[in-house]
Amino acid sequence: MTQSETQSGVELVPINSVRYGDKGDVVLMMHGWGLNLDSMRILGELLGKWNQVIIVDLPGFGKSPKPDADWDTIQYAERMAKYIDEQNISPAHLIGHSFGGRVAIRMASRFPEKVKSVVLINAHGLQRQLTGQRKFKSMRTKFLSKTCKFIDGIFGTKTYQNWFTPKYASRDYLNAGPLKNIMVKAVTEDVTPDALKVKAPTFMLYGEKDDETPVEFGERYKSLIKNSQLVVLPGKDHFPFMDEGAHLCASYILKFFRSLDAEGVSSNQAGNVK
């Protein structure tokens, strides 16, 4: 165990962050794959008018160093749970975009006492249900992958590396650099078991035109997470909070937060009546 590890084994990678606001509840925001905290600044600034907002660079992105090990999203969740303890901000509202949404679901499932609510924006974490042409393309790609590896194994060639990968690998994979192994783990994960255990109130925003994390994901998460709501944003893609979309997303998220406050007041009043 290194000096940077906890008793549970998660490496305490330093977390770079920015903060907005000095009143209200704490909101912890986590970006998507290949991005950094800058992608969520505009939305964070808007939410910071009524809340204490912390936007982080997840380990390996932005100014937060990469962990020594190739983490899965459970380890990311463990590190962010430790971060909540370090900053003394429990319980916090979690906002996760895409990859950050995977981490938020893991956190809400495994560390419920640290999570006040969850906001998922075009969250990933489910395996796509392929039909028709998509299913055919997937089967063809897998066949070509196995064929290239078979040829390389027999003849010592690099067909998979030199032909298959540049032609069929995703842009994120090609640009992942030292995070490639982490990315492979992430895209093959299915967080369904964790989603079923989430008890925190959950609000989801999905762009109608998102092809990376389609509305289908939001609908499936809504069926998995009991206390959840889904809003589909017409005309929006995988980044509905960018530019003018930040105001739209902020209005929905603030309305959700206020509904939680109202429910809390109602519960307290009911308790006083008893």
| 176 vs 183: CA distance, rounded Å | 7
265 and 203 in one domain? yes
Helix, strand, coil percentages for the chain (3-state, nearest 5): 50, 15, 35
Q: DSSP letter at 66?
A: P
Mean pLDDT of 61-80: 96
Residue 119 burial by CB count (10 A; 0-12/13-18/19+): exposed, middle or buried?
buried
**Number of domains present in the structure of the chain:** 2
The answer to whether residue 5 is domain-embedded is no
The answer to whether residue 175 is domain-embedded is yes
256 and 169 in one domain? no
The answer to whether residue 158 is domain-embedded is yes
The answer to whether residue 11 is domain-embedded is no
| 166 vs 238: CA distance, rounded Å | 24
pLDDT tens digit sequence for 251-268:
999 999 999 988 764 444
Mean pLDDT of 115-120: 98
- Please report which residue ranges of 129-190 form alpha helices under DSSP H: 132-155, 159, 165-168, 171-174, 180-188
Mean pLDDT of 22-32: 97
Answer whether residue 151 shows pLDDT above 90. Answer: no
Mean pLDDT of 130-154: 74
pLDDT recorded at residue 266: 42
CB 60 within 8 A of CB 103: no
Is the model more confident about 197 or about 137? 197
Q: Report the share of the chain in percent with pLDDT over 90.
A: 67
98 and 45 in one domain? yes
119 and 37 in one domain? yes
Of the residues 179, 201, 216, which one is the last residue of a structural domain?
179
202 and 106 in one domain? yes
The answer to whether residue 230 is domain-embedded is yes
196 and 175 in one domain? no
pLDDT recorded at residue 8: 56
Of the residues 147, 179, 211, which one is the last residue of a structural domain?
179
pTM given for the model: 0.84
| 122 vs 2: CA distance, rounded Å | 36
The answer to whether residue 4 is domain-embedded is no
CATH of the domain at 118: 3.40.50.1820
| 59 vs 68: CA distance, rounded Å | 10
201 and 94 in one domain? yes
pLDDT recorded at residue 144: 77
b/e for 79-115, b at 16 or more Cβ within 10 A?
Answer: bbbbbbeeeebebbbbbbbbbbbbbbbbbbbbbeebb
Q: Find the range with the poorest average confidence among 83-97, 146-160, 227-241.
A: 146-160
265 and 146 in one domain? no
What is the chain's mean pLDDT, rounded?
88
pLDDT recorded at residue 7: 44
160 and 211 in one domain? no
71 and 138 in one domain? no
pLDDT tens digit sequence for 88-110:
999 999 999 999 999 999 999 99
Predicted confidence band of residue 136 (pLDDT cuts 50, 70, 90): low
pLDDT recorded at residue 138: 61
| 225 vs 88: CA distance, rounded Å | 27
Answer whether residue 4 shows pLDDT above 80. Answer: no
Of the residues 145, 179, 213, which one is the last residue of a structural domain?
179
83 and 157 in one domain? no
The answer to whether residue 208 is domain-embedded is yes
Mean pLDDT of 217-234: 97
b/e for 11-32, b at 16 or more Cβ within 10 A?
Answer: bbbebbbbebbeebbbbbbbbb
163 and 101 in one domain? no
Domain that holds residue 152: 132-179
pLDDT recorded at residue 150: 83
